[in-house]
Chain A
């Protein structure tokens, strides 16, 4: 091939490179040509990542149904979402519908990890035939069966997240990891700016007797109050869900090996989660 032809080809490739790279970087960062309020231009879009633990479930974004996740995936990832507030609703058969308002920032991903509980929580009696009965009843029988986590020192810790009861009606959740890696549930958006705090104080009307992480989650707490056992989402981007797992007074709770057990006057129960 003549050298001149090769030089021309190289020059074309060079200019194509100069044009392609910024275009690809902008595209990959979420920029799209779009019309907003009659004005056309390059809009920095955001995205939504929603992990749905219960399937089949239907996700609604701003009231519009989004297809269910695939057979092997448990996440919705929605690209090209306009920046701003969006409502998320998840409906799954037999569970309490989940609702949240999230603020999607330009070029950023807004996360949601919905926590869904059964509409009618079930607690089954633990019988002596159960393999875990002996260890659970022994734990409940001890003088302090549950670490109630009443201070920073005795806090329950999962990864870099710690939780304890600050006072009888306040639970404190603390991020102890690197500030740059703070999870989304410590953050909220105000005046289109993301604000992340490494401590979240959550006020509870009922008296909190003990607190722990919900099995398998660091963003959901299991609260034992004087009215029963509840699951509480730490994510405070809109009103927090406080969902009943078991209602009843004079209850003790124990979280062990990914299960929640309660003990009341009538016996020991395992809560279905």
Chain B
């Protein structure tokens, strides 16, 4: 039985399909993990059987890594400059020249069991925005399975904040709806539909005049975020064919988070900043914005999978036959860095969060399968997009392992007299030296990170500033242990059909 067009847009995993479609989708699910493991096992086998060629590959890979790092650093520096300019721009003045009075901002804040302080801080940041709050629709989207706690939070938020916004709606997403996975996607989709009926339709608000900001519950906006977003929407030639992506910072608790957590958080930010300079590679991530009309046409976020934030881009991309893009705003929003009650719990949470993000690899089979079925998207676009996705996930899972763990292998296990070659002795030295030179790029990272930090809270010891610089020497550990390993973990799960559920990152504030 073939899959209908409607189903194709909303597939969560292979077992939702039948027949040949199911087989094809399953094979696509297996592809990223197969490539990653093939590379790692291939590198080990080649190091043993054909160490000379493995050594040449590693040297070439070292050079590639060095140049790629330099290439991406230039992008990072460029985006940092743009972000600084965006932060200092008076967006309200820029907006004044545009017809913006019809525009509504619709903010969804989904929560589960996060502390009320986290919710309040996000709502407070909305209140402090330089925007007309009477044209702001705030939807606080709780989960029924959180029980009485969700009710308490909603009632408290309603009493403290509802009157400050033009429209306020609190929803409780019912547990166990058919065809849904418990998680953010199903929650915010449910809340959006409720808001459509109870606010937009009830007040005859045009869908195309509403810009939806889908946030995490810890998303704190900078005062000019909505003005900046409005400007981008209003100046875009076709805002209904675009999503709008801010730069995710993890500044809310950055001074309290341990060094490993800070490095991982900033690495995530930097990656997004690099991607902002390569919009053709940019997909929506975490907090993002989209015009309600578009969101409604594609049926909201997918309810049956984990990575709804990036999938919404692909849903739109497929729905509009490839005529869809992500607009980089180069303007930040701030969220929480990983922080738990103990150091080890923090490390565990970092790993689990990175694995959840790496589970974005579930988009690969979705993309490839839809490309297979879509003759109305150009072959060139399909190849380019497929390559970018596969290369991206492959790099994430394998590159740090190849660089930091396998670079020495031919010299150690290579057979056939390889150990008697000068090459065998020089390989680890060359790899090490290239890595050291590459690590100098971290000086740029340290500098940029310092400029993006919020003011240091009074309770933080001054020596933490030094830690903010020195922390970057942890990068080889973080990109391997909290980058490659969780990515490989996620890809292996997808390869084996052990699908992941939505893991809510615990929010902890000191």
> Which residues does A use to contact B, with CB under 8 Å?
1, 6, 9-10, 13, 16-17, 20-21, 24-25, 27-30, 45-47, 49, 77, 79, 107-109, 111, 178, 180-182, 184
B56 at the interface (CB under 8 A from A): yes
- B415 in contact with A28 (CB, 8 Å): no
CB distance from B276 to the nearest CB of A (A): 9
- A29 in contact with B423 (CB, 8 Å): yes
> Which residues does B use to contact A, with CB under 8 Å?
55-56, 59-60, 62-64, 66-68, 70-71, 74-75, 78-79, 277-278, 415-417, 419-427, 430, 434
A109-B430 contact given A13-B70, A20-B63, A24-B59, CB 8 Å threshold = no
- B427 in contact with A108 (CB, 8 Å): no
- B56 in contact with A1 (CB, 8 Å): no
CB distance from A6 to the nearest CB of B (A): 7
Give A20's nearest chain B residue, CB to CB.
B63
CB distance from B163 to the nearest CB of A (A): 44
Cα A45 to Cα B68 in complex, Å, equals 31
Q: Which residues of B contact A21 (CB under 8 A)?
A: 59-60, 63
CB distance from A11 to the nearest CB of B (A): 11
Cα A21 to Cα B419 in complex, Å, equals 21
What 8 A-B pairs have minimum CB-CB distances, sorted nearest first? A30-B422, A28-B426, A180-B416, A20-B63, A13-B67, A1-B277, A21-B60, A1-B78
- B422 in contact with A79 (CB, 8 Å): yes
Q: How many A-B residue pairs have CB under 8 A?
A: 81
Contact of B426 among A10, A13, A30, A182 (CB under 8 A): A30
Q: Which residues of B contact A25 (CB under 8 A)?
A: 56, 59-60
- B415 in contact with A178 (CB, 8 Å): yes
Q: Which residues of A contact B66 (CB under 8 A)?
A: 20
Q: Which residues of A contact B424 (CB under 8 A)?
A: 109
- B422 in contact with A46 (CB, 8 Å): yes
Of listed A9, A24, A46, A108, residue having the most chain B CB within 10 A: A24
Cα A96 to Cα B56 in complex, Å, equals 43
- B426 in contact with A29 (CB, 8 Å): yes
30 contacts between A and B (CB under 8 A): A1-B74, A1-B75, A1-B79, A13-B67, A13-B68, A13-B71, A17-B63, A17-B67, A20-B63, A20-B67, A21-B60, A24-B430, A25-B56, A25-B60, A28-B55, A28-B423, A29-B421, A29-B426, A30-B423, A47-B425, A49-B425, A79-B425, A107-B422, A108-B420, A108-B422, A109-B420, A109-B424, A178-B415, A182-B417, A184-B420
Q: Which residues of A contact B425 (CB under 8 A)?
A: 47, 49, 77, 79, 109
Q: Which residues of A contact B79 (CB under 8 A)?
A: 1
